[in-house]
Amino acid sequence: MIFVLMKSNGFTILAIPFLYASLVFLLVSIASNPHINLPMLLGKNTDGSFPIWSIVMFGPFLFFVRMFSTLRRLLSHEEPFTEICEGVYVGGWPCSLDKFPPKNPAVIDCTCEFPRNSEFTRSGYLCIPTWDTRSPQPSEIESAVKWACRKRALGVPVFIHCAYGHGRSVAVMCALLVALGAVDNWKDAEKMIQEKRPYIRMNSLHRKALGEWAQHRLSPMKRKNESDVSSVIMSNSLGRK
């Protein structure tokens, strides 16, 4: 619309950047559609960095989400992160040191649109790129849970984040709490997180993925007659030695 308005007033050249930005946002909206769901469109690497071609091609979108995130945090009074149980944190994208939990935790990054800050991820980093308001796949949730359990078995804190710590990261956190034996099921986990971080809001996609994960998951749940995931991982690692 801005492009058409500027073009009609004789500013065709100046209107081209607006046209380009509009096309970028259109492409992102298509790729983030639940029926397509292609988070790799932005090209985020497994180490959390973005290649040059992605920064050039998707610059308008990447710049917008960072600026919007900064503005939203300025207007919000929500804590950047919350400790749900000992050594396990959930929160938003850590753009600065004050947004990062203490004790240098390992990081599970659930975003496809924000870069990794290498200064804050010296204890380990795992990226499961996911669009905002979408959910990681059950297999990705399982991989994240196993990775986090290995870190916790070594005594390393874990920080799971998405853009704001409301949806994507909460879905993974629900699964992790079940695997660690803090709760019996992901629904109880959601309630537990809600009590400590009131503004979370998982949607139907998150709950569907968690339901499928719970039905087919490989991670054992801690019960009276079962050892927890951490114990299983530790015994397996000792067995390999």
Kindly tell me if the per-residue pLDDT of 233 is higher than 50.
no
Q: Are residues 31 and 141 in the same domain?
A: no
Q: Are residues 35 and 118 in the same domain?
A: no
pLDDT of residue 32: 97
Q: Measured between alpha carbons, how far is residue 59 from residues 34, 55, 225 in Å?
A: 23, 5, 53
pTM for the full model? 0.85
pLDDT of residue 121: 77
Domain end: 69, 101, 123, which one? 69
Domain end: 41, 69, 97, which one? 69
How much is the average pLDDT of 97-106?
A: 94
Contact 214, 141 (CB under 8 A): no
Handedness of CA 183, 188, 190, 196 (dihedral sign): negative
125 within domain boundaries = yes
Domain count for the chain, please give it: 2
Q: Measured between alpha carbons, how far is 78 from 145 in angstroms, rounded to an integer? A: 26
Q: Are residues 57 and 86 in the same domain?
A: no
Kindly tell me if the per-residue pLDDT of 4 is higher than 90.
no
For 112-124, the pLDDT digits (tens) are 999 998 888 789 9
Token pair 């569907």 is found at 208
Q: Measured between alpha carbons, how far is 112 from 40 in angstroms, rounded to an integer? A: 7
Token pair 């100046």 is found at 14
Contact 159, 169 (CB under 8 A): no
Q: Are residues 24 and 96 in the same domain?
A: no
pLDDT of residue 110: 99
Confidence of residue 221 (pLDDT cuts 50, 70, 90): very low
Give the CA angle between residues 183, 188, 194 to the nearest 5°: 115
For 10-69, the pLDDT digits (tens) are 545 666 788 899 999 999 999 999 999 999 999 999 999 999 999 999 999 999 999 999
Q: Are residues 25 and 45 in the same domain?
A: yes
- The one-letter code for the residue type at 238 is L
Q: Measured between alpha carbons, how far is 241 from 72 in angstroms, rounded to an integer? A: 49
74 within domain boundaries = no
Kindly tell me if the per-residue pLDDT of 241 is higher than 70.
no
pLDDT of residue 74: 87
Q: Are residues 127 and 205 in the same domain?
A: yes
CATH of the domain at 90: 3.90.190.10
Q: Are residues 31 and 130 in the same domain?
A: no
Range(s) of the domain holding residue 153: 79-240
Domain end: 18, 42, 69, which one? 69
